[in-house]
Amino acid sequence: MSHGANNFFKSEQVSLERVSFKNQFQMTTVGNLFVPKNLNRNSQYPSIIVGHPMGAVKEQSSNLYAQKLAEQGFVTLAIDLSFWGESEGRPRNLVSPDIYAEDFSAAVDYLGSQSFVDRNRIGVLGICGSGSFAISAAKIDPRMKAIATVSMYDMGAANRNGLKHGVSVEQRKQAIAEAVAQRDTEFAGGETKYTSGTVEKLTANSNAIEREFYDFYRTPRGEFTPKGLSAELTTHPTLTSNVRFMNFYPFNDIETISPRPMLFIAGENAHSREFSDEAYRLAGEPKELVIVPGAGHVDLYDRVELIPFSKLAAFFRENLK
């Protein structure tokens, strides 16, 4: 719980309303709408959509960011991506990058319909995997006027190539073969299998990345299971659908988002830093890369003394005028 870790922060300066709306697949997306208590609902305000880490839910990291930014005068909306949390989608934990991106656009639809939101001043913030989903959405939705990512994971590259290109083509093909074999098993009535995500237990052989995620998702620091769902499936996508990330290339044409501004925030020591570096390299202007000294990947989920909330607020304030 070092560096002020406060995932379950509750602000006294903002109000919370659980909201829901349909995406274009006619699936219900659920979110937490945070509104500053001193907001005049007869005026219109800038707003920000906040997406949670891959495999997480809105109560993990995104609620924290949404409240901290709402304290700065923004209307914010932390959403559950389809197949996760309270949002619809069966089977649970399905991987579908296109539908994830659609959830962000559906959130723009919803916010733009609110009388106290200026539909011309809507931004988006994606944490971890949602950074890549937000970019994917922004490429085809110019209503998103400013795009920021924190501890971004390119979920396509991470699954195709692994970190630092540590996965060979042969290993990739083996993963695909296992997934399609499991499809046959499940079609015949076999049990659903899940993959990757956060380990359930630590052992002497657990590596540093496994320990980093475990410390957030499997301890009181960040552990959260929505009602009616299974704790042991938290963060684990279905094996058969996870291979869809192999076809996910969020950074292709990222430069077409320009001239809308982009901000990439990553920890100096984050194992995922390569993805923010690459997105920044490929993006058009205006763009900015902020490296947080001494921070790792998960540090920026909830360690409020490390997270540059003031930088995020300044970025959105300047670009959602």
DSSP letters, 97-144, are HHHHHHHHHHHHHHHHTSTTEEEEEEEEEEETTHHHHHHHHHHT-TTE
Q: What is the pLDDT of residue 231?
A: 80
Q: What is the pLDDT of residue 227?
A: 84
Q: Which residue has the tokens 């077409």?
A: 256
**Rounded Cα distance, 173 and 177, in Å:** 6
DSSP assignment, residue 71? T
Q: What is the pLDDT of residue 248?
A: 98
Quickly list DSSP for 279-305. Answer: HHHH--SSEEEEEETT--TTHHHHBTT
The token pair at 98 is 């296109």
Q: Any residues with CB less than 8 A from the CB of 248 and at least 6 apart, and which?
A: 97, 132, 136, 155, 156, 159
**CA nearest neighbour of 315 among 280, 278, 296, 289:** 289
The token pair at 123 is 């931004």
pTM score of the predicted model: 0.97
How far is CA 315 from its chain centroid? 18
Q: What is the pLDDT of residue 155?
A: 98
Protein fold of 14-164+249-319: Rossmann fold (3.40.50)
> Given CA atoms 52, 158, 276, 320 in this order, what sign does their dihedral have?
negative
Task: Find out whether 36 and 71 touch, Cβ atoms under 8 Å.
Answer: yes
Q: What is the pLDDT of residue 319?
A: 98
Q: What is the pLDDT of residue 317?
A: 98
Q: In a 3-state reduction of DSSP, which class is residue 35? A: strand
Q: What is the pLDDT along the chain (321 residues), one digit of tens a residue?
A: 799 999 999 999 999 999 999 999 999 999 999 999 999 989 999 999 999 999 999 999 999 999 999 999 999 999 999 999 999 999 999 999 999 999 999 999 999 999 999 999 999 999 999 999 999 999 999 999 999 999 999 999 999 999 999 999 999 999 999 999 999 999 999 999 999 999 999 999 999 999 999 999 999 999 999 888 888 789 999 999 999 999 999 999 999 999 999 999 999 999 999 999 999 999 999 999 999 999 999 999 999 999 999 999 999 999 999
The token pair at 260 is 């809308």
DSSP assignment, residue 157? H
